[in-house]
Structure 1
């Protein structure tokens, strides 16, 4: 009798608590940042409910997301009829200026030709523009969906060959594609451009729509967002600015961004910058804006900078050589790592659920050469792997601080390391949408929060406590 040779089966590890959200969520947020737009997910009702839950919990505002409502029958025979009916229903009930359509995993997997369906509706229905972006979650993260939606909107409203005769002369208008920032970040950026006396079109701008006043009467579509009329005039700007070190490197590898579309079609220069968090990155942003606009940096920002530097000096003894774990969207992690390095905190573990091939390169370009060897860089990570990595580090290298969104709370609790909540999503605190990250003011608020978190941890751990620093 012959003995069958035992064949080892490799272990399978499933993703546990992913450090990312679904791709259509990012696209939905972009559509919320366009005036009069209603997002529509081409897929199952559960996808729409999931996106609404995440956005409502973070922004504490009502969010409507329509759905083409796939069923088992739709999954077999195609969702074209469902999509047409959904568009007609949304147009009739909301009378939106635009319907932003994002495809989910199911509609992408069965191969629905959404653009063909939209073309059959002549791209407009009852005066409503239809914009589609392909967002299967198995190909990326919520940030990929965000950038894809921005590019799709710019492509739709700035077609090849279109050029408006009017060109600004005295006022040099700039397009700003800031990426996935907070409401307060967007408001602060608008203030900066206003101080420079430079007109700007920010896409998307959900800062008012997802944080407006209390209603006396129900509003089918909240006020606010980038007007479509402004998007249609993006082809007359003197420059397009895009935030994101990872995005910039990925664009060099072939990703077509909104800035690329405007550059190729209308010759508008595209300037890519890291997210302006901290002194160095904010200096770069303001100096670049000054060069493009032809206007000097306003004195108020020089004062803000030196107040920030003074705060760094005041708090240096509390943060110097502290070790931190940072997680979140790749570009946000890179920007936060640069900020931590300049205040004296070592970002010993930088992690993201993103899958770009440029995350490590962006960090290497951002962090000092003397620091990069002390940093573990992980992408395509979930929180379980992240936690295991942190727990396995030697005691003199383990993080003493965790910086990221609410999804890392359980990890921070088990590791018994204080968590500083930044970015998106923040579900277990109020005011997540009002956290300011960018500019000198944002860095000052972040620095104060980090220092106070460290001091609180020391007081809590102390056997006797103390009330004076």
Structure 2
């Protein structure tokens, strides 16, 4: 019997994070950049807490520190003072300015304020890039993608036209882990191809121990490389649920750089698509090293099929990751019964259908704009064997007494979230082992006698 809909609208434990948080992480993947929030100090503190708990790395997010007074009279003076202070203390190459709900609501014209600042302040100034990121109109993924697009729009072709046919490709990976980005660099080098990966948080958010604290961590995509993205032989963009005005589309329309948009390469099928594209762009066959990894992965699927076939899973998180995870789970014999996201692209169900139509006998329920209260209500009837997503699902996993496979962001109740490999044959192998072993461990713990030999 269907339940009557509630006579109120509320969110309980959202299945998303705030828009400027995503923008801050995107800016953190640019060499010499400092993220800057035009809003209250509390917003920057909240975001730093979330990011640090996942990556276990320091991150400075500057703030214009608006108060109640500025909500009435405007935050222009604080914005300019803050930019001046950041420039003096950090000496950044770039300041990425994201707006919060407060400044968007009061209507601060940041573009005009930055023009005024440029005229009023003498001397050399860092590049300043503004992105509009009110949390009430999106999730951290909209903030992330909008920031990347703003950077490409401002910098690509900035130093004039480059020589075409240089053999450089652009990889726009979306919101993946530092480990994923390091693996992408390895894959590109194996073809070999030069790759500009934007953003690149592989060092800035997972760096080596330093003898002295550095105000701006080394690493990130060089600004000169971003400026030359307009001359690349092609772009590869992961994800289908982002908006039409993505950075890959911008490079294609403005500079004629061929853009190939594909799902995040999770599992064998999606990774095959990625490697075929690299082979086409390089004119070379897939290296034997990666063909061998694929073969070992197929062998692992066969070896462990008996432990996981028919298990039911709830998958949740940001939309493109949910698409990739669902395709991977269906491929290994796990049945996704609910695919949920806090995002509202309107494309999630279509993409789930596209990547699983040839594999799943029955399509899962797919819901956008979900929170964990709603997911929990549905889970009681769906009776899943696994939860697959980030740490915010742990209370539900505990309530249902089922394993949780931690992937994505944020992971703040385990170490190593920044080192989880999600993509490629190697990432699929690691995730596969985690899923299989979680199912085996659950069976052992539920057994009155257990077993130790399989």
TM-score bracket, normalised by the shorter chain, equals over 0.9
Aligned match for 1:164, one of 161, 165, 187 = 161
* Alpha-carbon distance between aligned partners in 1 of 2:364 and 2:162, rounded to the nearest angstrom: 52
The ranges of structure 1 where at least 4 consecutive aligned residues each deviate by more than 4 angstroms after the TM superposition are none
Alignment of 1:132-211 (within 5 A): 132-158=130-156, 163-169=160-166, 172-211=167-206
Aligned match for 1:292, one of 262, 273, 281 = 281
CA shift for structure 1 position 405: 0.3
CA shift for structure 1 position 369: 5.0
Cα RMSD (Å): 1.5
Provide the residue aligned with 2:14 in structure 1.
Answer: 18
* Alpha-carbon distance between aligned partners in 2 of 1:141 and 1:416, rounded to the nearest angstrom: 29
Provide the residue aligned with 2:414 in structure 1.
Answer: 429
Q: Does 1:102 align with 2:91?
A: no
Aligned match for 1:48, one of 44, 47, 51 = 44
* Alpha-carbon distance between aligned partners in 2 of 1:112 and 1:175, rounded to the nearest angstrom: 34
CA contact (8 A) 1:364 1:372 kept: no
* Alpha-carbon distance between aligned partners in 1 of 2:306 and 2:157, rounded to the nearest angstrom: 55
CA contact (8 A) 2:129 2:150 kept: yes
* Alpha-carbon distance between aligned partners in 2 of 1:198 and 1:335, rounded to the nearest angstrom: 25
* Alpha-carbon distance between aligned partners in 2 of 1:389 and 1:10, rounded to the nearest angstrom: 15
Aligned match for 2:68, one of 72, 84, 88 = 72
Provide the residue aligned with 1:454 in structure 2.
Answer: 439
CA contact (8 A) 1:17 1:382 kept: yes
CA shift for structure 1 position 372: 6.3
Query: SS at 1:276's partner residue?
Result: coil
Alignment of 1:6-405 (within 5 A): 11-122=7-118, 126-158=124-156, 163-169=160-166, 172-247=167-242, 250-251=243-244, 256-368=245-357, 371=360, 373-393=362-382, 398-405=383-390
CA contact (8 A) 1:290 1:297 kept: yes
CA shift for structure 1 position 464: 1.0
CA distance 1:45–1:372, change in 2 (3 Å): farther
CA shift for structure 1 position 11: 2.1
CA contact (8 A) 1:43 1:104 kept: yes
**Over residues 444-464 of structure 1, what are the superposed CA-to-partner deviations in whole Å (9 max), with x where a residue is unaligned?**
000000000001111111111
CA contact (8 A) 2:164 2:233 kept: no
CA shift for structure 1 position 166: 2.6
CA contact (8 A) 1:163 1:236 kept: no
Q: TM-score normalised to the size of structure 2?
A: 0.96
Q: Does 1:418 align with 2:403?
A: yes
Farther-moved stretch of structure 1 (144-153 vs 237-246): 237-246
CA contact (8 A) 1:245 1:334 kept: no
Query: SS at 2:360's partner residue?
Result: helix
CA distance 1:377–1:296, change in 2 (3 Å): same
CA contact (8 A) 2:331 2:359 kept: no
CA shift for structure 1 position 167: 3.0
CA shift for structure 1 position 165: 4.0
Query: SS at 2:36's partner residue?
Result: strand
Query: SS at 1:245's partner residue?
Result: coil
* Alpha-carbon distance between aligned partners in 1 of 2:302 and 2:363, rounded to the nearest angstrom: 24
**Over residues 81-121 of structure 1, what are the superposed CA-to-partner deviations in whole Å (9 max), with x where a residue is unaligned?**
11001100000000000000000000001111111111223
CA contact (8 A) 2:388 2:405 kept: yes
Q: TM-score normalised to the size of structure 1?
A: 0.93
* Alpha-carbon distance between aligned partners in 2 of 1:374 and 1:137, rounded to the nearest angstrom: 31
Query: SS at 1:246's partner residue?
Result: coil
Query: SS at 2:86's partner residue?
Result: helix
CA contact (8 A) 2:353 2:363 kept: no
